[in-house]
Amino acid sequence: MVRQLGTPRHEELRRLLKEKRKNACISQAELGRRLGWSQRTIGKIETGEKRVTAVELIEIAQALEFDPAAALRRVAKAKR
């Protein structure tokens, strides 16, 4: 199985999600409330301690109002 945490693509996804949240001027706590998750979970995603599933990506994208498909295209361009 391929290691995912810490890979260039995982790091790009982590950076993208943090960027989208900050651009929306939303705190980790507020995003957590919108999703029904804890602030700690959002923090772990942003620091790279937690992987994000496809379903979670869609939920985050809806909460922050961005296109999850465009986000995946950006992540896919990161070197392996």
Is 1 inside any structural domain?
no
**CATH number for 48:** 1.10.260.40
CA separation for the pair 63, 77 (Å, rounded): 24
pLDDT tier at 3 (50, 70, 90 boundaries)? low
Domain with 53, as residue range(s), is: 8-75
Q: pLDDT tens across 23-74, in order?
A: 999 999 999 999 999 999 999 999 999 999 999 999 999 999 999 999 999 9
Is 2 inside any structural domain?
no
What is the number of domains present in the chain? 1
* H helix runs in 1-80, sequence order: 8-23, 28-35, 39-47, 54-64, 68-77
- For residue 1, the model assigns a pLDDT of 41
